[in-house]
Amino acid sequence: MLTHVLNGFAYGGLLFLVTVGLVFLFGLRRIVNFAHGGLFMIGAYVGYSVTQAAGFWAGVVCSTLVLAAVGILLDRIVFRPLAEEDPIATVLVTFGLLIVLEDVARTVWGKGMLALEPPAGLAGVMSIADSAYPTYRLALVALALAVAGTLSLWLRFSRTGLYVRALSADPLTTGMQGVNTERLSATVVAIGTGLAGLSGTVAAPLLTISPNMGSSILVQSFIVVVVGGLSSFSGAFIAAMVVGQLHNFGLVYVPWAASMLPFLLMIIVLIARPNTLSGAS
């Protein structure tokens, strides 16, 4: 039972790392980014390529930085123009961008599946309550907690974090106070896409790297966002952990219905608390 719970936390931690970027982008740009799964997938491929030449940790750093740079570019040429467009146009453009990113992956890295081994220091197992558990999965849970704690402290106690919260609540008034809202938005989008790259690389030892890997996790990520609230940072963390447990216990005990359980949770939450979509960070 402990192993199953830890597996749920590991998957929930991964979902949280992917979902943070979606929450940040909606909170600032009011854009539901269907391309986020593609950014996650590209991060996995970039991390894989760098790992082959310079090691796992170099792959983690490079994928984070490369995807952060991609986020700044996307914010300038895609997300800013979409902020004033109809939501349907946003869905079509970002979904089209997802397809383009998948085609880029197939062209550069091929259609085959790739595998990435965890770093040597985290490749073994640890004994927990007389049970052996993979060290890498525990490290993934610790990473999710560290990211959540760091972002929470940054948003609540740093000046930039306070600007971000103000911009999310009232962009016009924030701009009138002298805050460079466009630069701040680009910074936050870069953080979100950088975390997508980070999550893609750290997920690679657990998931098979393929051009379609982003599409599958994107569905789970949107469930987390809806359950936790489209602009709720803390809600996303709690929802990710709950969905992670449902996903894992569903695979163990009711594999025939495992894929439906997160959707059932989303339906229940939307019926019981339809205002969840307006949650605050």
Percent of the chain residues past pLDDT 70, beyond the cut: 96
pTM: 0.88
Boundaries of domain holding 87 = 2-112+134-278
Asked if residue 262 belongs to a domain, the reply is: yes
**What was the pLDDT predicted at 267?**
87
Asked if residue 123 belongs to a domain, the reply is: no
Q: How confident is the model at residue 163 (pLDDT cuts 50, 70, 90)?
A: confident
Percent of the chain residues past pLDDT 90, beyond the cut: 25
Concatenating the DSSP letter of every residue in 16-68 gives HHHHHHHHHHHHHH----TTHHHHHHHHHHHHHHHHHHH-HHHHHHHHHHHHH
**What was the pLDDT predicted at 274?**
65
Asked if residue 126 belongs to a domain, the reply is: no
**What was the pLDDT predicted at 91?**
84
| Residue predicted with more confidence, 257 or 71 | 71
Asked if residue 118 belongs to a domain, the reply is: no
CA 76 centroid distance within chain: 21
Asked if residue 128 belongs to a domain, the reply is: no
**What was the pLDDT predicted at 275?**
62
Q: How far is CA 136 from CA 57, 143, 165, 205, 241, in A?
A: 13, 10, 34, 9, 18
Checking if the pLDDT of 278 tops 70, the result is no
CB of 244 closer than 8 Å to CB of 10: yes
Torsion angles phi and psi, residue 93, rounded to 5: -70, -45
Asked if residue 14 belongs to a domain, the reply is: yes
Mean pLDDT of 181-202: 89
Asked if residue 205 belongs to a domain, the reply is: yes
Checking if the pLDDT of 280 tops 50, the result is no
Mean pLDDT of 199-221: 88
Distance separating alpha carbons of residues 33 and 91, to the nearest angstrom? 7
Checking if the pLDDT of 279 tops 50, the result is no
Helix, strand, or coil (residue 140)? helix
- Alpha helices (runs of H) in 170-212, residue ranges in sequence order: 171-176, 181-203
**Which CATH number do you get for residue 205?**
1.10.3470
Distance separating alpha carbons of residues 105 and 113, to the nearest angstrom? 11
Give the chain's end-to-end CA distance (angstroms, integer).
33
DSSP annotation of 256 reads G
- Alpha helices (runs of H) in 55-127, residue ranges in sequence order: 56-74, 80-82, 87-109
Asked if residue 125 belongs to a domain, the reply is: no
**What was the pLDDT predicted at 99?**
92
Domains identified in the chain, total number: 1
**What was the pLDDT predicted at 88?**
83
